């Protein structure tokens, strides 16, 4: 069986054809250029989808060497995302479905991200597994309990981790690249190498926000780094080694926050995990009670942590090699050598339509000829 996938939730126009044997026959991504508007403007993005998506779909068929009638269904992202961008993908999918009398499968974008390891890993993770999604748009720890059953254990209340990498790279005046985070990692490596590989990780200049709480936050860290750079007289005043140390400290602190949530989720020894589940010492009575409730809820959603045997880390930031080694170390140090750490290839972690087509296969039973469904720009993963 073959499914055409269409994805247009943000700014990439994507089309792909995937077989029921998990073969990605084609996966085409047409990027947009937003340098003139300094960020993604919804109208600009939708206009570009209008121009790019039809030819992206044609290209997916050409690359796969298939005719339009060869596919058995079309799977399309219904949400969440920008309404105007989603609309373009939905219109293309509905038109295709009407013209060729192929059923439609409406897909949740984040569900597709979360199910990607079932496509990419030879022996995919079995449920329940944990997914840590770290990208330019998301910072999330999700428990996947089944194809249609997810719990968001923690998400960011402000900026994403990728955003923070980009901002700090800019503040340090690291020459701008298409992945500023990776340029920042290269800068931090200078400091890391000067310490030697066996040196314990030094204490960071910056505090780790949200410690022991089921939430992420990156805006405070971003500002701390900004202020620290200003206090040194601005980026122009920094020596190469100072710049490298700041990059390293930031990176290390940003990753500590990920380790903190992973530890909260996977530490089985309740005695050792106890500090995470005690009311915090600081704050008003009301604040402390709230934190306590949040932690209880986290634990309840999680269920039996010993049953979780895989941690999947995906998104643009997951290509950071320091993050990769730290997460493995973190699992080993808490005695969870039984947990397999998986990193799907970057091309299938960032936005793509192969994950949409693949999810379409998993949701085959939900195929429909109902063309009246609209985009769902706001759509929780817990509301499938
Ligand atoms: P989303 O898919 O969540 O809507 P997006 O498309 O912006 O967001 P991705 O393409 O998955 O996100 O990731 C881009 C982010 O990853 C950027 O912030 C980039 O700086 C960061 N990034 C890429 N490589 C690295 C690296 N080696 N270290 C840290 N960050 C990195
Ligand atoms: Fe995405």
- Between 95-109, 190-204, 226-240, the lowest mean confidence (pLDDT) is in 190-204
- Residue among 136, 137, 346 to mutate when testing ligand 1 (max atoms within 8 A of CB): 136
Which atom of ligand 1 is least distant from the CA of 11?
6
* pLDDT number for residue 38: 65
- Residue among 12, 116, 135 to mutate when testing ligand 1 (max atoms within 8 A of CB): 135
Q: How many CA atoms lie less than 13 Å away from 90 in the CB half-sphere? A: 25
279: pLDDT strictly greater than 60: no
**Torsion angle, CA of 329/330/335/339, rounded to 10 degrees?**
-90
**CA distances for 83 relative to 10, 36, 46, 112, 271, angstroms:** 9, 22, 9, 18, 47
Q: What is the mean pLDDT of the chain?
A: 92
Cα 186 to middle of ligand 1, angstroms: 15
Which atom of ligand 1 is least distant from the CA of 12?
6
284: pLDDT strictly greater than 90: no
Q: Using an 8 Å Cβ cutoff, are 87 and 343 in contact? A: no
Tell me the per-residue pLDDT of 103-149, one tens digit each, with 9 for 90 and over: 999 999 999 999 999 999 988 899 999 999 998 889 999 999 999 99
Which amino acids bring their CB within 6 angstroms of ligand 1?
10, 135-138, 162, 165-166, 179-182, 185, 315-317, 319-320, 349-351
205: pLDDT strictly greater than 80: yes
- Residue among 30, 179, 180 to mutate when testing ligand 1 (max atoms within 8 A of CB): 179
Q: What are phi and psi of 76, to 5 degrees?
A: -140, 145
């Amino acid at each position: 069986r073959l499914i055409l996938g269409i994805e247009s939730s943000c700014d990439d126009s994507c089309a792909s054809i995937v077989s029921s044997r998990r073969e990605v026959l084609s996966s085409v991504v047409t990027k947009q250029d937003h340098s003139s508007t300094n960020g993604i403007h919804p109208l600009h993005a939708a206009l570009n989808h209008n121009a790019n998506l039809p030819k992206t779909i044609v290209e997916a068929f050409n690359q796969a060497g298939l005719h339009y009638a060869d596919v058995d269904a079309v799977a399309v992202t219904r949400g969440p995302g920008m309404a105007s961008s989603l609309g373009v993908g939905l219109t293309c999918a509905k038109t295709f479905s009407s013209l060729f009398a192929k059923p439609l499968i409406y897909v949740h974008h984040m569900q597709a991200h979360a199910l990607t390891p079932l496509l990419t890993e030879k022996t995919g993770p079995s449920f329940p597994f944990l997914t840590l999604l770290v990208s330019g748009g998301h910072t999330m720890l999700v428990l996947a309990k089944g194809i249609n059953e997810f719990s968001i254990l923690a998400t960011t209340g402000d900026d994403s981790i990728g955003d923070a990498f980009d901002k700090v790279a800019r503040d340090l005046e690291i020459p701008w690249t298409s992945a500023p985070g990776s340029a920042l990692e290269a800068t931090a490596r200078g400091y890391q190498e000067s310490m030697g590989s066996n040196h314990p990780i030094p204490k960071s200049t910056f505090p780790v926000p949200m410690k022991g709480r089921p939430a992420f936050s990156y805006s405070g860290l971003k500002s701390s780094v900004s202020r620290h750079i200003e206090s040194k007289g601005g980026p122009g005043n920094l020596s190469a080694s100072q710049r490298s140390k700041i990059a390293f400290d930031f990176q290390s602190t940003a990753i500590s926050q990920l380790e903190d949530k992973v530890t909260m989720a996977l530490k089985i020894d309740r005695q050792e995990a106890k500090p995470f589940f005690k009311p915090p010492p600081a704050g008003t009575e009301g604040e402390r009670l709230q934190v306590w409730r949040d932690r209880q809820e986290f634990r309840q959603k999680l269920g039996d942590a010993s049953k979780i045997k895989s941690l999947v880390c995906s998104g643009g930031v997951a290509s950071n090699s320091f993050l990769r080694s730290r997460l493995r170390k973190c699992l080993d140090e808490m005695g969870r050598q039984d947990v397999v750490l998986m990193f799907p290839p970057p091309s299938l972690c960032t936005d793509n339509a192969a994950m949409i087509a693949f999810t379409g296969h998993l949701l085959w039973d939900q195929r429909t000829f109902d063309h009246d469904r609209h985009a769902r720009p706001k759509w929780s993963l817990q509301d499938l």
